[in-house]
A and B are shown apart, each in its own frame.
Chain A
Amino acid sequence: GQQVMQIPQYQHVQEGEDFTTYCNSSTTLSNIQWYKQRPGGHPVFLIQLVKSGEVKKQKRLTFQFGEAKKNSSLHITATQTTDVGTYFCAGTGSARQLTFGSGTQLTVLP
């Protein structure tokens, strides 16, 4: 079945440093979604990418979808303590089901 791998599993950064999490699929995806889950909370939808090579920005967050539509990344510029949480990617493959990556847990040290 479809697998979505996400790295790293954990990342500690000093406030102000940049952060990137990477998502790789074993199969071509029709789209990729990104979610953020605060500690003790539930996942919240951030964005969806659909087109090959697509890049979208939300303030300090930059999302990319690979040319082959098998990988994606989320980059946060100048992290803040409010960025703390776990970031998940989720991809839709040929089975039209959403498969989640295992997440990257971000800790921001003040």
Chain B
Amino acid sequence: NAGVTQTPKFQVLKTGQSMTLQCAQDMNHEYMSWYRQDPGMGLRLIHYSVGAGITDQGEVPNGYNVSRSTTEDFPLRLLSAAPSQTSVYFCASTGLVHEQYFGPGTRLTVT
């Protein structure tokens, strides 16, 4: 049981480039989320999904897209990277008592 996996672990992008952060879970959880973590600001919700085919915006959705074609996978796309998107990105799936299981994170730098 791998839990929540994320790739890549580290990424450097130039301003304007696009990329997809991958997230997968093997716990058959319906609810999945993407967060970004910045110093002193905790974790802020970007997008979430309550099941395959259903996604919605969180607190800070601008500049990001998501899709959920399967229960297992929940990729996050950066459309045109900006320095303000330099952050650590965590994917999470939600358990039975609404606890979050986080992946190991992707550390993204945009230059």
- In contact, A33 and B99 (Cβ under 8 angstroms): yes
Quick check: is A98 within 8 A (CB to CB) of the other chain? yes
User: Which secondary structure dominates chain A's binding surface?
Assistant: strand
Q: Would you list 10 pairs from A and B whose C-beta atoms are within 8 A, ordered by A residue?
A: A35-B100, A41-B104, A42-B102, A42-B103, A43-B100, A45-B99, A48-B97, A99-B45, A102-B42, A103-B42
Instruction: Considering the complex, give the chain B residue whose CB is closest to the CB of A6.
Output: B42
* Contact size range, B: 20 to 34
For residue A54, give the distance in angstroms from its CB to the closest CB of chain B: 14
Quick check: is B40 within 8 A (CB to CB) of the other chain? yes
Q: How many residues of A contact B (CB 8 A)?
A: 23
A residues with CB within 8 A of B: 1, 4, 6, 9, 31, 33, 35, 41-45, 48, 88, 90, 92, 97-103
| A88: chain B residues within 8 A (beta carbon) | 42-43
Given known A97-B58, A101-B42, A102-B42, contact A43–B102 (CB-CB < 8 A): yes
